[in-house]
């Protein structure tokens, strides 16, 4: 699914317990932004850069990541959550059809097991990604 303006999906939002990343952000763009926690930038440069190119989007990396890679285990430790959405068409009274968007949040393990193939076939779309601030604080580099 192509979006007309991909800059709409290049954002970083923080609340009290999570850091949310837009689906179009690359690791290199994350390293340049000021509002990303320094510890996560250190994790990217020290560990994630070994498994993938920094010019790659985080979502593209997750689409090809295997559970044998070190970055997979890092994302598990950071409690990475992937939020996906998909459209459901329901038939109502009188033959009317209505479209409804369903949003789900899932862990990395659940995403790789259940939803990755549906995202690859364009039946589902990744909305954003988030990591836990508490897990990031507890992680030793």
Residues 33-70: tens digit of each pLDDT: 999 999 999 999 999 999 899 999 999 999 999 999 99
- For the entire predicted model, the pTM comes to 0.85
**pLDDT at residue number 44:** 94
Q: Nearest 5 degrees, angle CA 96-CA 100-CA 106? A: 155
Q: 């320094």: which residue's tokens?
A: 38
What is the DSSP secondary structure assignment for residue 111, as one 8-state letter? I
Q: How many CB atoms lie within 10 A of CB 106?
A: 16
Cα 125 to Cα 59: distance, rounded to the nearest angstrom: 10
Question: Domains along the chain?
Answer: 10-138 (3.30.465.10)
In angstroms, the Cα distances linking 31 to 4, 115, 128 are 25, 28, 18
């Amino acid at each position: 699914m192509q979006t007309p303006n991909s800059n709409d999906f290049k954002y970083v939002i923080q609340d009290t317990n999570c850091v949310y990343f837009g689906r179009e952000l690359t690791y290199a763009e994350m390293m340049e932004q000021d509002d990303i926690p320094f510890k996560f930038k250190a994790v990217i440069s020290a560990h994630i850069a070994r498994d993938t190119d920094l010019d790659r989007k985080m979502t593209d990396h997750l689409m090809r990541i295997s559970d044998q890679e070190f970055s997979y285990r890092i994302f598990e430790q950071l409690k990475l959550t992937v939020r996906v959405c998909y459209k459901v068409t329901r038939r109502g009274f009188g033959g009317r059809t209505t479209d409804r968007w369903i949003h789900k949040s899932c862990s990395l393990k659940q995403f790789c097991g259940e939803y990755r193939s549906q995202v690859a076939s364009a039946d589902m779309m990744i909305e954003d990604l988030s990591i836990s601030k508490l897990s990031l604080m507890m992680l030793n580099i």
